[in-house]
Amino acid sequence: MHIELLYWEACPSYDLALQRLRELLAERQIATPVRLIEVTTQQQAEQLRFPGSPTIRIEGQDLFSVPDGPYGLTCRVYRTDDGRVTPLPTTEMMREAIDGILREE
């Protein structure tokens, strides 16, 4: 399994997203290390199809897909089921997304 967390250094949310991701992987007894990828230029953001920090991908699939961008050096926002906007996905959002990807395998 290939797991990545893409981030922009100026975004304060990626540390907590990484912590939540590691906890959820441990819950599922997935020992795969998370590869951290720092995105540092607009060109790199476009090449990586990086919609903002933090972005979590498993097997190349964004847990919260943004198929047509925009891509760039920015903090990403996530919308919860109840309509709130948050700078990182909630633990439950991440749990559901990870479980969905694992079911596909």
| pLDDT of 105 | 65
**Chain segment 12-68, per-residue pLDDT in tens:** 999 999 999 999 999 999 999 999 999 999 999 999 999 999 999 999 999 998 878
* Pairwise CA distance, residues 71 & 67, whole Å: 10
Q: What is the DSSP string of 3-71?
A: EEEEE-TT-TTHHHHHHHHHHHHHHTT--PPEEEEE--SHHHHHHHT--SBSEEEETTEETT--TT---
pLDDT level of residue 75 (50, 70, 90 thresholds): very high
| pLDDT of 103 | 82
| pLDDT of 40 | 98
CATH architecture of 3-104: 3-Layer(aba) Sandwich (3.40)
